[in-house]
């Protein structure tokens, strides 16, 4: 029973961590993109506008990325209807990255206002606890993978393969 539950929870934790990793690492990329296009003035204006909003209206601003993604989803559906699977997948990935980037920017600009809403603060605390839980679930697997990756380094690969061959021979003899 416990093993079956773990088989379900580890992939769930991996998926959760992948989303969290994207969230953490996409913000600097979005910042570079903003600097490249010189949207700093627009970003500052949006931040000032959000600063003047009450917390409940700030929550509506937090929903803007979902509205911005609707055209991407429409394009995905059209491409799927035309059986253009790879194009639809590319648009879905682009939409995911764009959505996470915009959401990270909006959340960064609205976090202090949103945390003034009691239920949002509780959900944020739950999310952070879930993230810590997911890291704890994946840590043993991550340590094992790092060990195997270390064994496969070019300077160690020959020795590792020779050990595997010896182990296989011993198993065949037995």
Q: What is the mean pLDDT of the chain?
A: 78
- Give 25-69 pLDDT, tens digit per residue: 766 776 676 666 656 677 778 778 888 888 888 878 877 888 888
- Give 64-85 pLDDT, tens digit per residue: 888 888 898 899 999 999 999 9
Percent of the chain with pLDDT over 70: 75
CA atoms of 159 and 174, how far apart (whole Å): 23
HSE (side-chain half, CA atoms, 13 Å) at 24: 8
The predicted structure's pLDDT at residue 78: 93
Rg for the chain, CA atoms, rounded: 23
CA atoms of 157 and 73, how far apart (whole Å): 45
pTM over 0.85: no
Query: Can you state the angle between helices 2-37 and 85-114, rounded to 10 degrees?
Result: 80
* Under 8 Å between Cβ of 101 and 27: yes
């Amino acid at each position: 029973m416990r093993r079956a539950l773990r088989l379900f929870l580890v992939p769930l934790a991996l998926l959760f961590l992948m989303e969290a990793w994207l969230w953490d690492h996409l913000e600097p990329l979005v910042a570079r993109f903003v600097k490249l296009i010189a949207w700093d003035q627009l970003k500052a204006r949006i931040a000032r506008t959000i600063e003047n909003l009450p917390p409940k209206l700030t929550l509506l601003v937090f929903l803007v990325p979902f509205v911005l993604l609707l055209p991407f989803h429409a394009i995905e559906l059209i491409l799927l209807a035309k059986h253009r699977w790879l194009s639809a997948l590319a648009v879905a990935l682009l939409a995911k990255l764009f959505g996470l980037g915009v959401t990270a920017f909006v959340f960064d600009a609205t976090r202090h206002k949103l945390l003034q809403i009691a239920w949002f603060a509780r959900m944020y605390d739950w999310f952070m606890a879930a993230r810590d839980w997911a890291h704890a679930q994946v840590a043993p697997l991550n340590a094992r993978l790092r060990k195997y990756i270390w064994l496969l380094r070019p300077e160690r690969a020959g020795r590792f393969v020779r050990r595997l061959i010896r182990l296989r021979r011993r198993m065949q003899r037995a």
